[in-house]
Amino acid sequence: MTIVNFTPLPALLGGALIGLSAAFLLYAKGRVAGISGIAGGIIYPESNGDISWRLVFVLGLILGGFIYQFSGLGAGVEHIQAVVSKPLLIAGGLLVGIGTQIGTGCTSGHGICGLARRSPRSLVATLCFMASAIVTVYITRHLIGA
């Protein structure tokens, strides 16, 4: 395997910013920065004043990607393309959404925030995420040959 885009400094900066934003959200709102929970709270709000910060958070995720790309820092990223059909991408997205509901959280909520808080439940969830990812890659690359 050849690493095409080895970018340790932007990756380190990005990881630090994710950690800082997760810590800030926990400090400011007392909430874990789990993306599925934040996005789900837009659709099914817990209270009336609960939607605005969620919208700002999701908008920041979207705008952050565009700002990174158009600032020139994202050079080399424009060649990334999905190598599967749109129906397969949609099916995968739906399965991820179902999985986040079953696992009561997503990789960001459990893997970043939950592990940082030493949550045993998050450790089990993260191990399950990783194991299923390893099995999926093995099946698709070695058994199916995709």
Question: CA 91 to CA 29: how far, in whole Å?
Answer: 33
Residues 79 and 5 sit within 8 Å (Cβ to Cβ): no
> What is the domain range of residue 89?
81-146
Given 57, 80, 103, the domain boundary residue is 80
Given 80, 102, 132, the domain boundary residue is 80
DSSP string, 73-89: TTTT-TT----S-HHHH
Among the residue ranges 45-54, 72-81, 108-117, 128-137, the one predicted with the least confidence is 72-81
pLDDT at residue 77 is higher than 70: no
The stretch 64-83 carries a mean pLDDT of 72
pLDDT at residue 1 is higher than 70: no
Say which residue the tokens 């099914």 belong to: 44
Confidence of residue 134 (pLDDT cuts 50, 70, 90): very high
Tell me whether residue 50 is exposed, middle or buried, using C-beta atoms within 10 angstroms of its C-beta: 0 to 12, 13 to 18, 19 or more. middle
Confidence of residue 146 (pLDDT cuts 50, 70, 90): low
Considering the domain architecture, whether residues 66 and 85 belong to the same structural domain is answered as no
